[in-house]
Amino acid sequence: MNKLSLLTNGIIKENPVLILLLGTCPTLAVTTSAVNGLGMGVSTMAVLISSNIVIALLKNIIPDKVRIPSFIVVIAGFVTIVGLLLQAYAPEINEALGLFIPLIVVNCIILGRAEMFASKNKVADAAFDGIGMGLGFTFALFLMGSIRELVGSGAWMGIKLTAELFDPISVFMLAPGAFFTYGCLVALINYLSQGKAIKKTEFGCANCASAASCQLAGKGGCE
């Protein structure tokens, strides 16, 4: 694969959120506004790129037995660094994302990419994969945040747009609105691609980060 296709792969063809249906927790939880979605996306992207690079560098040193714990330590380290930097230089974003910053550690996209891509590929490829996947994740979260903010509070990026014209549907800012928006987005992609883009018809275990250590994932899930 050349570098460009590595990039576009993550953004469009294998968009982690909209096509692979991964990282659902932050996608639903922090997208109450476009800015929050963007902040979460960029933070996750920073962790993803750094951990992909480090894991690709260390792939020959880390013994297979302690592979997963080593990945987790590396990822947790970068997550804490990103958290500290956010506290110091973007306290508003840090406040808004709260608990979901430390929870980037268990974002299945990051451990999944470490396991499936970075530990098997060259450093440069792993970096580009991280950028592509990170951009795809950021784009999806920004889109979700924009829709929910516009419909739920009549604003976009904090700028009031339709709030004066009619009452915003504030349930879109709450939990049910998050599930609803995500469902509609997935349906829209289904419709536009005539059901071809999203191969998964179910949420399953196959793409879960623990798939490697779970004996059932290979057999098609826990059902």
Closer residue to other proteins, CB minimum distance, 78 or 139: 78
Of the residues 99, 159, 164, 165, which one makes contact with other proteins according to CB under 8 A: 99
For residue 54, give both structure tokens.
Answer: 């480090």
CB of 145 to other proteins, least distance (A): 14
Our finding on whether 63 is near other proteins (CB under 8 A) is yes
Our finding on whether 76 is near other proteins (CB under 8 A) is yes
Of the residues 1, 81, 124, 163, which one makes contact with other proteins according to CB under 8 A: 81
Total number of residues that touch other proteins (CB under 8 A):
76
For other proteins, the binding residues in 142-181 under the rule CB under 8 A are 152-153, 168, 170-171, 173-180
Site string for other proteins, 204-223 (x = CB under 8 A): xx--xxx--xxxx----xxx
Taking each helix axis from N to C end, the angle separating 108-116 and 67-89, rounded to the nearest 10 degrees, works out to: 130
Of the residues 77, 116, 123, 156, which one makes contact with other proteins according to CB under 8 A: 77
Our finding on whether 68 is near other proteins (CB under 8 A) is yes
